[in-house]
Structure 1
Amino acid sequence: MERLAATIAARKGADPDSSWTAKLLAKGPEKCAEKFGEEAIEAIIEAVKGDRERLTAEAADVLYHLLVMLAARDVTLAEVLAELDRREGVSGLAEKAARG
């Protein structure tokens, strides 16, 4: 994941004609978010259908598009991982209650 996040970050300033990632990022954060949502829905569909192979492929797409969406808003994988670390050992119910 860290290698993928670094590749995505490196493509931020690349020519959109040379890279799918650069093309997505050039379309702006809203388009990146839309694409992430589309991929998430496709993963949900495969999870419901029970097709492990297709779910695996769609999950990979979700992770890639999540990282692109984060990069579009200058949120790093390290920041997300730090948030997960902060939550470790905290009850999921208590954590949700703390968020309001």
Structure 2
Amino acid sequence: MTDVLEELYQTVLSRKENQVEGSYTCYLFEKGIDKILKKCGEECSEVIIAAKNGDNEETVLEISDLLYHLVVLMANEGISYEAVQAELSKRSEKAGNLKQFHQVDKNS
């Protein structure tokens, strides 16, 4: 089975290493971390708005935009796809293992 996010990551890395004229990804790398972070923030807000509006089709589009910009951020910062995969795998092993929260006795 093909991992679309991994393919996206490899494409983004390729754009980082080999500038392609007219590429939006190359434009983001050229503008740098501030622009990349701004786009991540904008897309995150758009996901929230679409979800709040109950528009699943729009939410899917915005989640896709957010994931793309997060992948650009990863590539820009030298964060490997494998590192994120490993962290998610580690977290999945903890499924169903809720943290116990400190309970305050309000009667005392």
Shorter-normalised TM-score: what interval?
A: 0.7 to 0.9
With normalisation by structure 1, the TM-score equals 0.85
Structure 2 gaps, min length 5 = 101-108
1:80-91 matches, within 5 Å, as 80-90=84-94, 91=97
State the aligned residue count.
94
C-alpha separation in 1, matches of 2:98 and 2:16: 34
The one-letter amino acid paired with 2:61 is: A
Q: What do the CA deviations read for 1:32-68 (whole angstroms, capped 9, x no partner)?
A: 1111111010011000000111111111101101100
Counterpart amino acid of residue 12 in structure 1: K
1:93 aligns with 2:94: no
- In the TM superposition, 1:57-76 aligns within 5 A as 57-76=61-80
2:66 alignment partner AA: V
Unaligned runs of 5+ in 1: 95-100
Instruction: Give the 3 Å change call, closer, same or farther, for CA 16–93 of structure 1 in structure 2.
Output: farther
Identity %: 37
What is the alpha-carbon distance in structure 1 between the residues aligned to residue 98 and residue 15 of structure 2?
35
Runs of 4+ in 1 over 6 A off after TM superposition: none
Q: Please give the TM-score of this superposition, normalised by the length of structure 2.
A: 0.79
Aligned-residue Cα RMSD (Å) equals 1.6
Letter in structure 2 aligned against 1:22: C
